[in-house]
Amino acid sequence: MQIDFSPPDISEDDIQAVSEVLRSGWITSGPRVQEFEAALAEWTKTPRVAVLNSATAALQCVLELLAIGPGDEVITPAYTYTASASVICHVGASPVLVDVAPGQYQMDTESILAAITPRTKAVIAVDIGGVMCDYNALRKTLSSPQAFRRFAPRVGTMQEIFQQIPIIADAAHSFGSSYLGQPSGTVADFTVFSFHAVKNLTTAEGGAITWRNNLVDEATSAEIYQRIKLYCLHGQTKDALAKSADGAWEYDVVAPLYKCNMTDIAAALGLSQLKRYAQMLERRRQLISLYTEQLQTDAAQGGYSLDILSHDDGHGSVSNGHLMMVRLLGRDDAFRRRFIVKMAEKGVSCNVHFKPLPLLSAYAALGFDISSFPEAFKQYENQVSLPLHTLLSDQDVQYVCDSFKAAYAETSAG
Ligand SMILES: Cc1ncc(COP(=O)(O)O)c(C=O)c1O
């Protein structure tokens, strides 16, 4: 038996949708991209969505929209994927890493407060595993007098729209999640999604940006959209589709910008996936409850403890079930590594989300030391992510759980 970690769920309809674009004579950004943006806006209940070729490009784009650059600081968790922090370096600003709250995957609000300086221009919060951060608590922290007094928006830039330090959601994992009943995409000031191959909904590679409904008036919202489009396509005033109209060859380049547009091929895949996304989310919920029940029963019988990431807080915060994250409580890194090898020997592919940034050479070289992030290390040292995707059958989940129980016993036996 071989259970892969997260293969893409590609249906015959998806293949058909992509084939149609390939045959249509238009494969780069065009009508499918526009349709996909409209469909995403409907899904996320936001007036506008702009798509790009990755969440990484989208995060960088938001930082540039906010005119964040050299001399500025952006706060993000130590416990995340590199993209949340690397984009801060890309724009020439300094990442300020913050520890997670004890026993949690999101930043500790007191530590955020302590990290704010007059150079802090944004906070990038990360919705790990699909579970949205506590944005009300974060907003409250940023509106406290201590944080509020320190926010100095740069004059003549979009930072001036904000009364307090803007919140950017790295929602790479949380498309389709909600926070207290509000969809991901409407909660933070800016939200960035990923449609990478391992995400719940994929365009192979892809990303999107939304911004909060009441953040700006209609004219400013239209301007934000326009600026994202310029950012994605060299700062060129006309995209390939507009230029292809008879006699419409001429264009201007208003700034030497980037090339990170989404193609119609990718958008067609996204549109097709979106049609069955509600079903996919439902199936993920079923798989998670099967897993949770069985893992807990086995742990009780085997006399060990697990911390299983909860995807539903019972108060309207429901995750999209992106990752099946488990911690082997009381166990250390060495045990977890041996356990993952045992799972692999049984044909079950596991993963770790995430190795805290200070443990990676790039961030160690920037001066970050894991000893300053003890809670992130505690979350990491015994964390294991189990296979979770919509190609899994109930029997597959049972097999993973049986393997888990056996691997745990074998690892304990030494
Ligand atoms: C938390 C987080 N942020 C950002 C990204 C970057 O997404 P993309 O690959 O679409 O650039 C990822 C990718 O897995 C991620 O896990």
pLDDT tens for each residue of 41-59: 999 999 999 999 999 999 9
Pairwise CA distance, residues 86 & 55, whole Å: 12
**Residue 32: pLDDT over 90:** yes
Dihedrals phi, psi of 2, to nearest 5 degrees: -125, 120
> What pLDDT is stored for residue 201 in this prediction?
98
**Residue 355: pLDDT over 90:** yes
- SS3 state at 360: coil
Pairwise CA distance, residues 324 & 326, whole Å: 7
Centre of ligand 1 from the C-alpha of residue 194, in Å: 6
Q: Is 320 in the pocket of ligand 1 (CB under 6 A)?
A: no
**Omega before 354 within 30 of 0, i.e. cis:** yes
**Residue 243: pLDDT over 90:** no
Q: Is 129 in the pocket of ligand 1 (CB under 6 A)?
A: no
Tokens 């001399």 correspond to what residue?
71
- SS3 state at 211: strand
Quote the percentage of the chain above a pLDDT of 90. 94
Q: How far is CA 199 from CA 44, 87, 196, 336, in A?
A: 17, 20, 5, 24
Reported as a single tens digit per residue, the pLDDT across 89-109 is: 999 999 999 999 999 999 999
Reported as a single tens digit per residue, the pLDDT across 329-344 is: 999 999 999 999 999 9
> What pLDDT is stored for residue 300 in this prediction?
98
> What pLDDT is stored for residue 153 in this prediction?
94
Pairwise CA distance, residues 204 & 133, whole Å: 26
User: CA nearest 6: which of 276, 285, 324?
Assistant: 324
Which DSSP letter does residue 138 get? H
The token pair that represents 309 in the structure block: 């990431």
> Between the CA atoms of 158, 33, 219 and 120, what dihedral angle is there, to the nearest 10 degrees?
-10
Give me the domains of the chain, ranges plus CATH numbers: 12-275 (3.40.640.10), 277-413 (3.90.1150.10)
Confidence of residue 402 (pLDDT cuts 50, 70, 90): very high
> What pLDDT is stored for residue 263 in this prediction?
98
Instruction: Confirm if 379 and 33 have CB atoms less than 8 A apart.
Output: no
Mean pLDDT of 136-161: 94
Pick the atom of ligand 1 nearest to 353's CA: 16
Q: 74: number of CA atoms within 13 Å, CB side?
A: 32
**Which of 196, 232, 385 is the best mutation target for the ligand 1 pocket, counting ligand atoms within 8 Å of the beta carbon and taking the most?**
196
Q: Is 56 in the pocket of ligand 1 (CB under 6 A)?
A: yes
End-to-end CA distance of the chain: 24
Q: Is 351 in the pocket of ligand 1 (CB under 6 A)?
A: no
Which DSSP letter does residue 108 get? -
Positive or negative torsion for Cα 19, 23, 24, 27:
positive
**Which of 194, 261, 323 is the best mutation target for the ligand 1 pocket, counting ligand atoms within 8 Å of the beta carbon and taking the most?**
194
Pick the atom of ligand 1 nearest to 206's CA: 10
> What pLDDT is stored for residue 45 in this prediction?
95
Which DSSP letter does residue 3 get? B
Q: Is 182 in the pocket of ligand 1 (CB under 6 A)?
A: no
**Residue 409: pLDDT over 90:** yes
**Residue 368: pLDDT over 90:** yes
Show the beta-strand stretches assigned E in 18-127. 50-52, 73-77, 94-98, 120-126
- SS3 state at 224: helix
> What pLDDT is stored for residue 214 in this prediction?
83
- Mean pLDDT estimate for the chain: 97
**Residue 386: pLDDT over 90:** yes
Reported as a single tens digit per residue, the pLDDT across 279-318 is: 999 999 999 999 999 999 999 999 999 999 999 998 889 9
> What pLDDT is stored for residue 244 in this prediction?
87
**Which of 81, 86, 322 is the best mutation target for the ligand 1 pocket, counting ligand atoms within 8 Å of the beta carbon and taking the most?**
81
Mean pLDDT of 359-363: 98
Mean pLDDT of 375-398: 98
Q: Is 127 in the pocket of ligand 1 (CB under 6 A)?
A: no
> What pLDDT is stored for residue 133 in this prediction?
98
Dihedrals phi, psi of 325, to nearest 5 degrees: -100, 130
